[in-house]
Structure 1
């Protein structure tokens, strides 16, 4: 630490006692920056609390003081072999935790996690950006459904979000064993049901229909019936869309319907039979089969974990060492959760209101009658929200 602590030097002119508190302030701030996860401004404000008012004339500008703290926090350039110390390469219980490490990708998981992943038929994937060190783009995680509980099992640091980045991640994981998941649910920003609903709501807002949605009960029901299309069997979605489009009885919704058809259904071809390819294929946002199989309809649980994890990290773009330590803590906690599940402990239950909603929707889906599509969509609509 002595290497970055400044010391007063000999001068050839009269001493300036007011400079000493400034030097001490810088030393204190830099030392705290190395060991603390507090924000730059918090460190500075804390250091200034007891700064002598008599020395304020020698105090540099606030931005210069903050730059000094930020420079101290800059992670030195390292090679792929010295980013992580030995402790960070293993779990707290001593199991190997670092599956893969190179400049553009780091993957944390254990053999036990991979065994649990193999035994699960339903996977969930999602990424987050705020918790990544500056030399990576996102923390991308792979979760598995274990007795109705979704557990994070693989943690990957990726430098981007291209198909090559994701392919490299999945290839490295799949090379470890003979994995055969039946489903992999990921929002990829637009695909899952939750984001499907958000996209439609944003279009309602952008087309100036928010007030109409709030005030016109029939219009509100019709918009929610569009969301209800996700609960139809794939073979009936286009028929369902045509029926819903006929429910809108004014011109106000024309732009909204054009958007929905172009983006989620596919516009009719000018010549011949059929439709053009939509921006998002119907199977990407359809949840009929998932409801029938009693699977989660969205990635909300995984997104919730990412939000909670970001809160536990406490700072944006931490150092690699700090992030790795936080991931180890998550792993340690979920090792206990997995052990409890395998021992037959009761999984954490949903809130009663959410559980009852799921049960109502599941009953409607199980009782689906293709001869009563309009009534089915209305029944689904009163149980969904934007």
Structure 2
């Protein structure tokens, strides 16, 4: 298939920058953007399997957190909708795990595209925590003066009670943005399990020779939590 898209560039201080891009005619991904395109597609499929969102909402949510320069390289929306619908159908026919004891985190959900493990499966008595982050994310957490923590009960697998997330600034200078750096699925909402979560997070940081001590933590659903 021939791509009829056209891009106009402009040279600013010796660097070429995109001035105009006809995304509607674009029908293939650039080689350099393939890993990021694949990442976005995987995120859409995973969201399709763990939520009740419609395809249009899933596409919108993932595009919103995808870099601007990658968005034009994504497949067309009708192709994305088909991928999402297939992911939902596969999820529907799979035999659902009935108990936490039987639940096993798939390898595809615990390894990054570069092959790094980014999950911890934590047992606390009869309860479970699935903790997701990377060493790079932990470095940003260490640098951050503040964290923003939040929890949702909407996009959570059946066996778990809450999806907990920690957001903090990442990036240097003008490129700094507040982004989610840690995700955790918890099977019950309790102070004891939250304490275990942060204990494991701190130990993970120590394994990478990092120390997590933000000046303060903001949250809109629990009391202000000290990380000392």
Greater helix fraction, Structure 1 or Structure 2: 1
TM-score by length of structure 2 reads 0.48
TM-score by length of structure 1 reads 0.29
